[in-house]
Amino acid sequence: MYNITMVAGARPNFIKLAPIVWAVEKAKKAGEEIDCRLVYVGKEGDATLEETLFDDLQIGRPDVFLGVDCESLNELTGQTMGAFDRYLDEVPTDAVIVVDDLASTMAVAIVCKKRGVKLAHLVAGTRSFDFAMPKEVNRLVIDGLSDLLFTAGAGANSIVSREGAELQKVYMVGNIIIDTLRHNYSRFTRPECLDRMNVADGSYIVFTINRKALLTDDGYLYDMLSTISKQLGDTKVIAPLRGLAREKIEPLAAEMPGMSIVDSMSYLDFGYLTAHAKGIITDSGNIAEEATFNNVPCITLNDYTEHVETVSQGSNVLVGYDLDKLHTFVADMIGGNWKKSSLPERWDGRTADRILQIVTSSAQ
| 294-351 tens-digit pLDDT | 999 999 999 888 889 999 999 999 999 999 999 999 999 999 999 999 999 999 999 9
| 261-310 tens-digit pLDDT | 999 999 999 999 999 999 999 999 999 999 999 999 999 999 888 889 99
| 214-225 tens-digit pLDDT | 999 999 999 999
| 83-97 tens-digit pLDDT | 999 999 999 999 999
* For the chain, percent of residues with pLDDT exceeding 90: 87
What's the whole-model pTM score? 0.93
- 43: closest CA among 82, 69, 63? 69
Between residues 156 and 112, the one the model is more confident about: 112
Does residue 60 carry a pLDDT above 80?
yes
pLDDT band at 35 (very low <50, low <70, confident <90, very high): very high
Give residue 363's pLDDT: 66
Does residue 364 carry a pLDDT above 70?
no
* For the chain, percent of residues with pLDDT exceeding 70: 99
Mean pLDDT of 12-36: 96
